[in-house]
Amino acid sequence: MFKNKKIPYMEFLPLILITIIIYRLMDYSANFLNFLNLILGVIQPILIGLTIAFILNPIMMFFENRIKSKYKRGISLALTYLLCGGILLLLINVLLPTIMSSLSELVENLPRYLETFSTSLTKLFEETDLKSSDELIKSLTNFISKFISEIGNSINMFLTSTITTLFKIGSFLLNFVVSIVISIYVLKDKDTICFKSKQFFRSILNDNYYNKLLTLTDSANSIFGKFIIGKSIDSLIIGSICFLGLIIFKFKFALLIALIIGITNMIPYFGPFIGAVPAVILTIFDSPSRAIGMVLFIFILQQFDGLYLGPKILGDQLGLTPLLVMISILVGGGLFGFIGMFLGVPVFALIKTIYDSWIEYIFKKKNLQI
């Protein structure tokens, strides 16, 4: 009786099941997130190793395509890590002493910076005839002083806890070394890994789903590759321009501010605002009258990035609206911090790609039109 009859709306069953699972997980969100963080902590070296391999793969392929030898994979792999390791060591030797010197100067001269800040505010309020200036100045000064004091106390607690500090440093170094080793083996055996993965999925999936999986992995590779590499190049250029501009206009803590701007620029939309806050605060400490100049400089720099440099490097390959970008950053940041804010955008772009393909399939299957 029911032979060859199709259950109505069967194609919506996966979506319904996913919705129910998400709803149930919300009831146990705290336990679920703790469990997820535990799993991520355990597999963190593997994820970092895969990320390093993913980023370094284009560099390795650049060397490999130009080497004529039966050992070209090993030679190109060695050249890649020698090049990147050399650049990293050079940056550490050049940047680290200057950054540590800036931080040391900031901590040592903090009382003088606070006094300068207080004097400048007093003068500003006197010139504008604002009332209750003393209380406001006192409140602002106390707030900044308390904020810096808490940072100092945190640093002191970190440095005085010798055993804990050594354990954390040792754990970090161990994870880093393990991640590097994993990335080396992944790059060395990437062809075998890809072949075995395709072999496995081909054995359990039919032609249709297997081809869809290949399309999905190609999309993921394209989205993550273009975003991570493109955004890294974009942020490196912005950080360099920022450093040169601050040197030309003789702002203090130029290297430290440029480093902050470059790193936070990796986060779309919110990154410039996050980076501007510490930059302006550092400028206020040195010369409050130049804070407006710092705000204008960062604003012009970010406009140049948003309107010209970013689109030139990244293009519009993600296909996300500003609203979806903001949602992806908020969700990713809320779950996984800075890394989540950065990777949330390409993850949402991949989800949108899957969703668009599914909707297109439904419309074609049912011959729907809007």
Residue range 217-255, pLDDT digits in tens: 888 888 888 888 888 888 899 999 999 999 999 888 888
The structure tokens 């390791």 sit at 85
Q: Decide if 120 contacts 289 (C-beta within 8 A).
A: yes
pLDDT at 357 > cutoff 70:
yes
Handedness of CA 99, 105, 108, 110 (dihedral sign): negative
The overall average pLDDT reported for the chain is 79
pLDDT at 117 > cutoff 70:
no
Q: Decide if 340 contacts 369 (C-beta within 8 A).
A: no
Span 29-51, average pLDDT: 76
* pLDDT reported for residue 243: 92
Give every CB contact of residue 46 below 8 A, 6+ residues apart in sequence.
179, 182
Distance (Å, whole) CA 290 – CA 249: 10
Distance (Å, whole) CA 19 – CA 13: 10
Residue range 259-296, pLDDT digits in tens: 989 988 888 777 778 888 888 888 887 777 788 889 99
Phi, psi of 131 (to 5 degrees): -90, 165
* pLDDT reported for residue 83: 93
Phi, psi of 9 (to 5 degrees): 60, 25
Q: Higher-confidence residue: 301 or 153?
A: 301
* pLDDT reported for residue 76: 94
Q: Decide if 246 contacts 254 (C-beta within 8 A).
A: yes
How many CA atoms does the CB half-sphere of 27 hold within 13 Å?
4
Percent of the chain residues topping a pLDDT of 70: 75
Phi, psi of 71 (to 5 degrees): -105, 25
Residue range 18-33, pLDDT digits in tens: 777 766 666 665 666 6
Q: How many CB atoms lie within 10 A of CB 276?
A: 21
Q: How far is CA 350 from CA 93, 220, 221, in A?
A: 38, 6, 10
Distance (Å, whole) CA 116 – CA 288: 8
pLDDT at 187 > cutoff 90:
yes
Model confidence band, residue 121 (pLDDT cutoffs 50, 70, 90): low
